[in-house]
Structure 1
Amino acid sequence: MSITRPQRITGALLASHAADALGATLESQSATAIRERYPNGLRDIVGGGPFGLLPGQATHDTDLTRAVLLAYLDRARINAAGGDPDVASLAAGHMLKWLRGDWPERRQGRKPVHVGKTTLEGLQKYGETGEYVGSGGAGGEGKAGNGSLMRCLPTGLFEEDADRLLLDSVAISAITHADERCTVSCAAYNAIARDLVAGRTPQEAVESGLEVARKLEKDTAVADAIELGKKFSIADMAANGPVGLPSEASGFVLESLAIAVAAVLDKRPLEDVVIDVVRIGGDTDTNAAIAAGLLGARDGEDAVPERWVGRLQFGDDFAEIVSHILTTESGSSG
């Protein structure tokens, strides 16, 4: 049975959310420590971890993905009314609301459980000046964490125009992460996601991402990361640790991208691949969320285990937002 576009979009978001929640329990632990505690991998969402989360509670990965997702809901409504909004500004506004506590199950003024340093600095600057880290030039260079790659997925799911996808991917990354390795990684990742949503094979989608990286970047760092991901085995890294990753999968954007490429090319079921990505250790929640976004787009929402989906803080919320966006888009195009 063929997988529909809505099923792929919803699957990508639910898979990313579930993988984030699964990996949060083991955040920052080594592959060796995880193997000792869970010889066959952590298979259920149980909460806890360094942030003391409830089972299925979103980390900043999922919260900020939701902020970008809400920006695309805003865009769909504004487009339907004849407008042409700047989706990056919309996304930045929702991110700022999240930071300030204007968010489901939070109190106004209450800080998030966790926020990365680079993300915090970028959002504080936006709140004070209305300008992104990357506004007006190459600000934010030298900070190449995975904090924008973890949230960029909605652009790949909803932007079908190739040029607009690249522009929006770069702009949304540059709200907090303007280093070329981050902006180009987001663009390449979203090109992969777009192709998967369109029903292209993982191999074809990865080649599209590679083409984008070669087009946009001044050197070959992102393209090299994609090529590296094509050679990796997620199962081998899960069994032996993050061999070949100098930062040991601990938050460097290029390593997270390489893991995601390896994951989407892995022919096993989504559940098995996500569990093994967590087993690699390091930045377990974010690496898993990034990889699972592509796996969900590849396999659709039915591939995400029901026992995971039933625990997700924003499971119903994500499905409803997707439905609203697609309905609004359909109505405006008709």
Structure 2
Amino acid sequence: MDRYERILGGLFGVACGDALGGTLEFMSKDEIERKYGYLKDIIGGGCWDLEPGEVTDDTMMTIAVAEGILDNPENPIEDIGKHFIKRYDGKPKDIGNIIRIALGEYKRSSDWMKTACYAHQATGGMSAGNGSLMRCLPVALYYSDVEKMLEITALQSVLTHYDQKATDACQFYNLLVYQYLNDKPKIPPIREHIEKYPEYKQVFQLSKYQLKPTGYVFDTLICVLWCFINTSSFEDAVCEAANLGGDADTIAAITGEMAGVYYGYNAIPDRWKEKILIKDHLISIAQRIIKDNGKI
């Protein structure tokens, strides 16, 4: 599989997971079963009254990271921040509380050094949300140097999320994506890199019913890894993630990113890809990434 197909798979993966999971956001598994059975189609609606194929902040913040990197690959953090503010000013649907507080503080202070710390304090130290994890994919897609990739992954996280748990989750996740982008098999990279993040080892022992689909970054990444490990196709991984309910759009989006890189663009159901309203934008970003590929 060529690199472009994996990059495009990751970008469409986040959008498809987001659009599917957005319908089920904040619902319990029992509520989902009563209303939808097991949702496998992108139908819109839900608490955000989405159009079929419409995405939320999960995809739009991922695009913001990608565009910031493409604007200034050597030192992208300020540019990523500018795109965050542009998205924030556009009043996106479903903006996370930590990100909303952090970006509001930046609008007041114009100082990125203060934003994440302010949000951390304002939330009583509860800043280990999944908002920086959901958007970190483009860093792994762009940078061929793994150390540079890990550095930028961490820096984009601490723009809004002060807690080290959020940074650790982003770096662990992007290490895996980086491996799959470079044609590695599915499970060995997880077993290898999980040694650096031993709190996640429990994912191999958990049952589906022990998963907690919350906005806490640890719970989210456990759900993502479980859905990816315990399925054998892109569609099954993303459907499992979305139908957990809770923070369904984000968990399905993050699962879709990883599964999209691993399985590739052609493995994503056509009925999903065709519905994504911003598909041309995603294709353009993938083309720009592949054009720049290998420069850094």
With the length of structure 1 as denominator, give the TM-score of the two structures.
0.82
Q: Does 1:227 align with 2:201?
A: yes
Alignment map for 1:42-191 (pairs within 5 Å):
42-76=39-73, 84=74, 86-101=75-90, 111-132=91-112, 140=120, 141-191=125-175
- Distance of 1:38 and 1:329 partners within structure 2: 42
Residues 163 and 138 (structure 1 numbering): CA distance in 2 closer, same or farther, change over 3 Å? Answer: farther
Structure 1 residue 33, shift from structure 2 partner: 1.0
Query: What's the CA shift string for 1:6-64, capped at 9, x where partnerless?
Result: 1111101101110100010110100111112222x111111111111111111011110
Please give the per-residue CA displacement for 1:254-301, whole angstroms capped at 9, x wherever unaligned: 011111212222342111221111121111111100111110111000
1:20 corresponding residue in structure 2? 18
Q: Distance in 1 between matches of 2:116 and 2:162?
A: 11
Which whole-Å CA distance do the structure 2 matches of 1:34 and 1:267 have between them? 20
Which of 304, 307, 317 matches 2:268? 304
Partner residue, 1:290 = 254
RMSD of Structure 2 on Structure 1 (CA): 2.1
Could you tell me whether the CA contact under 8 Å between 1:8 and 1:297 is conserved in 2? Answer: yes
Corresponding position of 1:108: none
Is the CA contact (8 Å cut-off) linking 2:134 and 2:250 kept in structure 1? Answer: yes
The answer to whether the Cα contact below 8 Å between 1:44 and 1:308 also exists between their aligned partners in 2 is yes
Q: Does 251-260 or 133-142 show the bigger shift?
A: 133-142
Partner SS, residue 147 of structure 2: helix
Please point out which of 173, 191, 210 is paired with 1:244.
210
**Alignment partner of 1:266 is 2:212:** no
Shift of 1:153: 0.9
Displacement after TM superposition at 1:128 (Å): 2.9
Consecutive aligned runs of 4 or more in structure 1 exceeding 4 Å deviation: 133-139
Bigger CA drift: 134-143 or 169-178?
Answer: 134-143
Larger deviation: 117-126 or 282-291?
117-126
Deviations 1:202-226 (A, max 9, x none): 2232135425xx3xxxxxxx531x2
Amino acid aligned to 1:117: N
Partner SS, residue 275 of structure 2: coil
- Aligned AA (1:258): I
Tell me the distance in 1 between the aligned counterparts of 2:222 and 2:139: 19
Residue identity in the other structure for 1:161: D
Instruction: Give the CA deviation at 1:134.
Output: 6.5
The verdict on how the C-alpha distance between 1:132 and 1:223 changes in structure 2, with shifts beyond 3 A counting, is farther
Tell me the amino acid that sits aligned with residue 104 of structure 2.
Answer: Q
Q: Which has the higher helix share?
A: 2
Distance 1:135 1:38, change over 3 A: closer
Could you say which residue in structure 2 is the equivalent of 1:240?
Answer: none
- Alignment: residue pair count: 292
Q: Secondary structure at the match of 2:11?
A: helix
Secondary structure of the residue aligned to 1:50 is helix
Counterpart of 1:275 (choices 233, 236, 239) is 239
| Residue 138 of structure 1, CA deviation | 10
Cα distance change, pair 298–329 in 1 and its aligned pair in 2 (3 A): closer
Identity %: 30
Unaligned runs of at least 5 residues, structure 1: 77-83, 102-110, 215-221, 238-242
Kindly indicate whether the alpha-carbon contact (under 8 Å) linking 2:67 and 2:80 is maintained by their aligned counterparts in 1: yes
Q: Highest Rg: 1 or 2?
A: 1
Amino acid paired to 1:22: L
Bigger RCO of structures 1 and 2 (CA < 8 A, at least 6 apart)? 2
> Quick one: distance in 2 between partners of 1:125 and 1:139?
8
Q: Name the aligned partner's letter for residue 48 of structure 1.
A: G
Contact persistence 2:116–2:159 (CA under 8 A): no
Cα distance in 2 between the residues matched to 1:269 and 1:315: 21
Q: Give the aligned partner of residue 5 of structure 1.
A: 3
Structure 1 residue 4, shift from structure 2 partner: 1.1
> Is contact 2:116-2:160 (8 Å) kept?
no
Q: What is the match of residue 287 of structure 2?
A: 323
- The answer as to whether partners of 1:20 and 1:61 remain within 8 angstroms in 2 is yes
1:275 partner amino acid:
C
Instruction: Please tell me the residue identity of whatever aligns with 2:136.
Output: C
How far did residue 130 of structure 1 move? Answer: 3.2
- Structure 2 distance, partners of 1:134, 1:30, is 36
